[in-house]
Amino acid sequence: MAIVVPIDRPGRSVSMAFHGRNTALAAAIVAAILVAAVLTYSPLGLLGWSQSGLGAAATTAKAQGTPSSPAGGNAGGPPTVNLTDTQLGSVKVEAASEREFAIEKESVGSIDFNQEMTVQVFTPYQGRIVGLFAKVGDDVQKGQTLFTIDSPDLLQAESTLIAAAGVLEFTTRNLARLRELYKTRAVSQKDMEQAASDQQTAEGALRAARDAVRLFGKSDTEIDRIIAERKADPILVVPSPIAGRVTARSAAPGLFVQPGNPPAPYLVADISTMWMLANVPENDSPAFRVGQEVKVKVSAFPERTFEGRISTIASMVDPFTRRVLIRSEVQNPRDELRSGMFATFVIRTGAPVRSVAVPLDGVVREGDGTMTVWVTADRRRFTKRTVKVGLQQDGYRQILEGVQPGELIATEGALFLSNALATASR
């Protein structure tokens, strides 16, 4: 059997002859030749056919309305997020501006009483406590009675005072009598001079006795009363030597106390100034010096700032913690600070610097530790940008690299944008 296959070119054809049982094989060969001829000599060729098919598929997808992802941007470019009108309400956009950032050092510590203005109140003489007139937490004035004791030493001093007063009175009367007798030559001049000497000795003894009683805190009026009444008062009054607050009391009625025998019956502290004790790293210690102003904050008053100055810098480094003790005197005008309060102090160690600043809510810390912000030009399409941050003060973060003044950034809702990007990337 002979088959003639025309080719899609003028004047060309293919003629093949098959015999007997090869008719089916001949038909298959002819079909293959026809397909090859069409693909080879067609004006579109294989490429045109493929493109035509892809275009049709794209047209079909578009017709079906496939939703777009909120994440966009060119492949390999910075991540971006496009927000809808509803989502824009969750983001606040502002232009980046510059602020001054103070060069400061910060450390933590605790509040303590000013030990230079804290007094241990001891009794000047031994005795048993008979009365207490102040308790812990009371504010006392200088000279106010804290406690009284029954003092045998005071009793002895007052007895000596009474005796000295009696001797002076006797010698005075005796001198006066001998002088009258000497006028009539009833006594010798020697007896009169001896009486005058005894009277002067008695005067000296009385003055010494008065001074001895005065050491116990008795006033001249009280001493005169003791002499006039010839009655000793063994109750010794122990006053507060300074104005302040009673911070500790170990005194109790009937307790026998001695001078300088600890613990002190009372502890009184002037709380107009307090100490802040802070241990700073060894590497930071060269930045501090005596007299520098410090700002102290305590957790009990988070909105208050207490002013003070560095008063002492330790001369040695703790060998275990490698830290240096710094002591500051802090003003306490309202008596709000308490010993043992946890505190932080900030001290300015250099001139302030001016840098781009972004609110804290506008900076996001990523999982790998990098810091990012979201920048926009049209307030709808936001681009994620990595930045280098510095100081953090007054609710702002210093931006060292990555943002220029005037660029629009998301100052609120930056975390929302990061979450939207993460959701779209899943």
Per residue in 101-150, pLDDT (tens digit) is: 888 888 899 999 999 999 999 998 899 999 999 999 999 999 999 999 99
The tens digit of pLDDT for each residue in 261-278 reads: 889 999 999 999 999 999
The tens digit of pLDDT for each residue in 240-264 reads: 999 999 999 999 999 999 998 889 9
Q: Look at residue 180 in the predicted model and tell me its pLDDT.
A: 85
Binning pLDDT at 50, 70 and 90, where does residue 82 land?
confident
Mean pLDDT, residues 55-79:
43
269-351 classified as CATH 2.40.30.170:
yes
Q: Look at residue 168 in the predicted model and tell me its pLDDT.
A: 92
102: Cβ contacts below 8 Å, ≥ 6 apart: 348, 352, 393
d(CA 250, CA 146): 12
Binning pLDDT at 50, 70 and 90, where does residue 25 land?
low
Is the pLDDT reported for residue 69 higher than 60?
no
Mean pLDDT, residues 365-382:
89
Q: Look at residue 11 in the predicted model and tell me its pLDDT.
A: 46
Binning pLDDT at 50, 70 and 90, where does residue 233 land?
confident
Range(s) of the chain covered by CATH 1.10.287.470: 152-233
Amino acid letter, 300? A
Mean pLDDT, residues 73-82:
70
Instruction: Specify the range with the lowest mean pLDDT, choosing from 62-66, 107-111, 164-168, 232-236.
Output: 62-66
pTM of the entire predicted model = 0.57
**What is residue 84's DSSP assignment?**
P
Instruction: Specify the range with the lowest mean pLDDT, choosing from 79-88, 134-143, 166-175.
Output: 79-88
Check residues 145 and 17 and name the one with the higher pLDDT.
Answer: 145
Distances (CA, A) of 181 to 178, 188, 391: 5, 9, 101
Sort 291 into a burial class: Cβ within 10 Å, 0-12 / 13-18 / 19+.
exposed
Check residues 288 and 69 and name the one with the higher pLDDT.
Answer: 288
Domain at 152-233: CATH code: 1.10.287.470
The b/e string for 220-233 (b: 16+ C-beta within 10 A; e otherwise) is: eebbeebbeeeebb
Distances (CA, A) of 274 to 18, 305, 311: 119, 14, 11
Q: Look at residue 74 in the predicted model and tell me its pLDDT.
A: 45
Give the strands of the sheet with 139-140, arranged side by side: 118-121, 266-269, 244-249, 139-140
Is the pLDDT reported for residue 162 higher than 90?
yes
Is the pLDDT reported for residue 50 higher than 60?
no
Q: Look at residue 73 in the predicted model and tell me its pLDDT.
A: 46
Range(s) of the chain covered by CATH 2.40.420.20: 80-100+353-424
Q: Look at residue 31 in the predicted model and tell me its pLDDT.
A: 57
d(CA 138, CA 147): 13
Q: What percent of the chain has pLDDT over 90?
A: 46
d(CA 227, CA 158): 9
d(CA 144, CA 134): 9
- The Cβ-side half-sphere exposure at 229, using a 13 Å CA radius, reads 10
Mean pLDDT, residues 326-333:
93
Residue 280 tokens, joined: 């700073």
Q: Look at residue 58 in the predicted model and tell me its pLDDT.
A: 33
Q: Look at residue 144 in the predicted model and tell me its pLDDT.
A: 94
Sort 27 into a burial class: Cβ within 10 Å, 0-12 / 13-18 / 19+.
exposed
Is 113:247 a contact under the CB 8 Å cutoff? yes
Residue 234 tokens, joined: 């063994």
Is the pLDDT reported for residue 38 higher than 50?
no
Domain at 80-100+353-424: CATH code: 2.40.420.20
Range(s) of the chain covered by CATH 2.40.30.170: 269-351
- Report the mean per-residue pLDDT for the chain: 82
Sort 322 into a burial class: Cβ within 10 Å, 0-12 / 13-18 / 19+.
exposed
Most confident of 12-21, 67-76, 234-243: 234-243
- Dihedral sign for Cα atoms in the order 100, 103, 107, 110: negative
Residue 238 tokens, joined: 């122990």
